[in-house]
């Protein structure tokens, strides 16, 4: 069974702070890693993806991947109240299937 | 920006009835998926579809479920005899053919079985 684990939270950070979201995965053959944001009652929305070890930055978001530790994280700098949502980690292994974690609920307090 | 569209947005049906959920994937995408999310739970894989056939399916996708691409644009999920536990949000997703391309989700169909 291929598992993707996330802390369910809730994670609360003050506005302007850095939010750090973590994800671990069980399938060592996993190739690509995705972060989605999901507002309540809405569909997942792609934030960013990462394939190679190290950091990848896109605006206020930074994804970090460590394949040896089977760990991927998302940092959100200068957090805004509009960032309050559930963040889903998704992992694609060698097939076509994407596995999702249960998500981490983030609340940014004004 | 092109998007995946799903209809209807909300479907209410009685237990034992058949439902068909419809999706129009993004036009140049070649891989199509159905996921479901029971309220408060994780997004669960149901089935993936490529080259007019199922490429992978989960344990959830039993004989009650079927998928079809009846024409060049639509992608449907049929549930033959709905159960109360089928109540969930059903998401269609698609992606282009490159190996690491991400999933793009539709807005979902909320299915309520009474």
The structure tokens listed for A11 are 């994670």
Percent pLDDT > 90 in chain B is: 87
CB nearest to B102's CB, from A46, A100, A101:
A46
Which chain B residue is nearest to residue A43, measuring alpha carbons?
B107
Cα–Cα distance list, B1 to A3, A15, A74, B8 (Å): 32, 30, 25, 21
How confident is the model at residue B1, as a pLDDT?
A: 76
Contacts of B33 in chain A (CB under 8 A): 98
User: Under DSSP, is residue A102 helix (H, G, I), strand (E, B) or coil?
Assistant: coil
| Inter-chain CB proximity B45 and A102 less than 8 Å | no
How confident is the model at residue A72, as a pLDDT?
A: 97
How confident is the model at residue A1, as a pLDDT?
A: 66
- The sign of the torsion formed by the CA atoms of B72, B77, A32, B4 equals positive
Omega within 30 of 0 (cis) for the link into B10: no
Contacts of B91 in chain A (CB under 8 A): 43-44
- Return the DSSP state at B85: G
The structure tokens listed for B33 are 């998926």
Spans of chain B, pLDDT less than 50: none
pLDDT tens digits for B8-26? 999 999 999 999 999 999 9
- Residue B37: which H helix or E strand, with range? strand B31-37
Residue B17, chain A, CB below 8 Å: the answer is no
Q: Tell me the shortest Cα–Cα distance from B82 to chain A, in angstroms.
A: 22
Spans of chain A, pLDDT less than 50: none
Which chain A residue is nearest to residue B6, measuring alpha carbons?
A43
| Inter-chain CB proximity B99 and A31 less than 8 Å | yes
């Amino acid at each position: 069974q291929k598992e993707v684990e996330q802390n369910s939270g809730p994670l609360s950070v003050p506005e302007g702070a850095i939010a750090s979201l973590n994800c671990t995965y069980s399938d060592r053959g996993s190739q690509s890693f995705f972060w989605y944001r999901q507002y309540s009652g809405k569909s997942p929305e792609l934030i960013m993806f990462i394939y190679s070890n190290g950091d990848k930055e896109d605006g206020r978001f930074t994804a970090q991947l460590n394949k040896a530790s089977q760990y991927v994280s998302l940092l959100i700098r200068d957090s805004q109240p509009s960032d309050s949502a559930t963040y889903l980690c998704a992992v694609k292994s060698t097939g076509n299937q994407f596995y999702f974690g249960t998500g981490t609920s983030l609340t940014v307090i004004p | 920006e092109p998007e995946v569209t799903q209809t209807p947005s909300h479907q209410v049906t009685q237990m034992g009835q058949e439902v068909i959920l419809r999706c129009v994937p993004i036009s140049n995408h070649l891989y199509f998926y159905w996921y479901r999310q029971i309220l408060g739970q994780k997004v669960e894989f149901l089935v993936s579809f490529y080259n007019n056939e199922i490429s992978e399916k989960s344990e959830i996708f039993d004989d009650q479920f079927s998928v079809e691409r009846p024409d060049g644009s639509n992608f449907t999920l049929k549930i033959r005899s709905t159960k109360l536990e089928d109540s969930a949000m059903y998401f269609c997703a698609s992606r282009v053919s490159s190996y690491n391309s991400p999933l793009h989700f539709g807005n979902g169909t909320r299915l309520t079985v009474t």
